[in-house]
A and B are shown apart, each in its own frame.
Chain A
Amino acid sequence: MSGLRLVRVTRDYPVRDGVRPALQPIDLTVRPGEFLCIIGPSGCGKTTLLNVMAGLDRQHGGSLTRDNPDAVTSCMFQESRLLPWLNVRDNLAFVLDGPLRAQGDLIDEWLQRVGLEGHGRDYPHQLSVGMQQRVAVARAMIVRPDILLMDEPFSALDELTALKMRTEVLELCDELGATVVLVTHNPLEAVYLADRLVVMSGQPGGILQTMDLGHLGRPRDPDDPELWRVSRSAVSALTEAAARQPASG
């Protein structure tokens, strides 16, 4: 288990006549074992911030530290990003190191946990989008991550599948004790999953509001009116911030 600390993190992109800032200086601490959701409108820098946390973008300002420098980080993306030339088993083995790769039992165990036993030899194109995303869940979890970073992992799924997978991912993260940062467009999804909600806005993106959702307890019912109320207040904060900003493309 490991937390994350971001101090005055910025990211500028070079443009023809200088630089375009994508992130305002951001200070954020993600506590060990916490499930943090980031919501915000398109283009506010949510994915940029997640890429910085994942180490995919190293051209940022400020500092990023992990409580445990050896923490295992894992990712889930909007699309499954499975390697199409590897079958399901080999896609899982791909993220494992050395001796673990040869452990067929471990792969079997995770295939079973995501309900894909019997599909180990299938290639990604032989699976539905929902099944592919289940493989991506297994791939993210099989490394037993200390930190799990997810970028809109349920947005490509139909609502019924997404609802089921949210619950499953929540249970798996809880079992592994992983620290989770999830970026989403969906305020209700964020309120259903998160211990804490970060609302981002603007271009360049900054943190507009942080909402502690501990009072909602666990497990949560997606139809709980309190979830809807909290989600609406997050949307209101976003709408007000958007109204204060000049219109942009």
Chain B
Amino acid sequence: MGRLASPLFRLAGLLTLVLAWLALSRLVGTQMVPGPVATFGFIIREFERGALQLHLAATMYRVLIAFAVAMGLGVLTGMLMGLHRRVDELLEAWVIAGLSIPRLVLFVAAYLVLGLNDRAAILALMISLLPTVIVQVREGTRAVDGKLVEMAVAFRRSRLEIWHRVILPQLMPYIIGTARTTLSLAWKMVILAELTGRTSGVGYQISFYFQMFNMPGILAYGVTMMILLAVVDLVLMGGLQRWAFRWRKPVGGVA
């Protein structure tokens, strides 16, 4: 059993999810909650007429740009706040405001100021992600093991090398963990942005099918987003995490 147990349990978990979906569909009726077959049939039809790819690409474009900028700015700012108390004090109010502002307000304000365009959507999305990245990286920087830095200083390593070989590897768990959280947050936020002010993207399609009261359409785009997010998270981010932490002692392992 041993090695097979883990995939089998995962498969069983997935199966229960599909069964629950089927049961719900039977319970409330396929008009209200279409079953998996109807939903995947809709997805295939959308794919065949080219709509699915088009709207997914638009959504991904917005997500990736906002995610990349938020990560770049957030990691840098978080590190500065973690290292320098004065910078932390100076930016603390901004971070708290960023964390507490309702996301919908951000998107509406961006559309009002910049117009109903991608620039506004991406900017609002980026601003909504930034504080989360900053806070997590700041905490990571504060948790850097000073004894390892001291060792590197004692061996007269350069500042650049200390950053590259001693500090950054310690920040990687925080950066990768933050990237996973932020990316999943971005997927969810972008739907809101597209729902409120764009004419393309998965959010727009959901809004369109909502007006048509087309449940298979809504579910088809929702499920596609879920699958895409799961694949990106498990395969890409999970793979990156496993590679970055290949040096770690496995949980329950013996030295």
Contacts and interface: CB of A to CB of B under 8 A. Distances in A.
A and B found bound together: yes
Interface of A: 54-56, 73-75, 77, 79, 81, 83-87, 94-95, 123, 125-128, 139, 143, 149
Contacts of B154: 54-56, 73-75, 149
B144 to A, nearest CB: 12
Contacts of A79: 147
B253 to A, nearest CB: 8
B247 to A, nearest CB: 5
Contact of B255 (A74, A83, A95, A125): A125
Residue among A77, A81, A85, A87 with most chain B CB within 10 A: A85
Contacts of B152: 94
A73 B151 contact: no
Interface residues of B, number: 18
Nearest to A77: B151
Contacts of A87: 247
Given A54-B154, A56-B154, A95-B155, A81 B147 contact: yes
Contacts of B148: 81, 83
Given A83-B169, A85-B169, A94-B157, A56 B150 contact: yes
A86 B166 CA distance: 10
Interface string B156-177: 1100000001100100000000
Nearest to A95: B155
Contacts of A125: 247-249, 253, 255
B153 interface: yes
Contact of B153 (A56, A77, A126, A139): A56
Q: Is the interface of A mostly helix, strand, loop or mixed?
A: loop
Contact of A128 (B153, B169, B249, B255): B255
A127 B253 CA distance: 12
A79 B145 CA distance: 13
10 contacts: A54-B154, A56-B150, A73-B156, A74-B154, A77-B151, A83-B165, A85-B247, A94-B155, A94-B157, A128-B255
Contacts of B166: 83
Contacts of A74: 154-155
Given A81-B148, A94-B152, 18 more contacts: A54-B154, A55-B154, A75-B151, A77-B147, A81-B147, A81-B151, A83-B148, A83-B165, A83-B169, A87-B247, A94-B155, A95-B157, A123-B247, A125-B248, A125-B249, A125-B253, A127-B255, A128-B255
Residue among A87, A126, A143, A149 with most chain B CB within 10 A: A126
Given A123-B247, A125-B249, A125-B255, A75 B155 contact: yes
Residue among B150, B154, B249, B255 with most chain A CB within 10 A: B154
Contacts of A84: 247-248
Instruction: List 8 A-B pairs, minimum CB-CB distance, nearest first.
Output: A125-B249, A75-B154, A81-B151, A95-B155, A85-B169, A85-B247, A123-B247, A54-B154
Contacts of B248: 84, 125
Contacts of B150: 56, 81
A184 B253 CA distance: 33
Nearest to B244: A85
A73 B247 CA distance: 29
A113 to B, nearest CB: 19
A29 to B, nearest CB: 22
A83 to B, nearest CB: 6
A74 B157 CA distance: 12
Contacts of A73: 154, 156
Interface in B199-255: 247-249, 253, 255
Nearest to B168: A85
A73 B156 CA distance: 8
A20 B136 CA distance: 35
B147 A126 contact: no
Residue among A54, A74, A81 with most chain B CB within 10 A: A81
Contacts of B255: 125-128
Contacts of B157: 94-95
Nearest to B172: A85
Contacts of A126: 249, 255
Nearest to A54: B154
B96 to A, nearest CB: 28
B41 to A, nearest CB: 48
Nearest to B154: A75
A119 B156 CA distance: 26
A86 B247 contact: yes
Contacts of A85: 169, 247
A183 to B, nearest CB: 14
Contacts of A83: 148, 165-166, 169
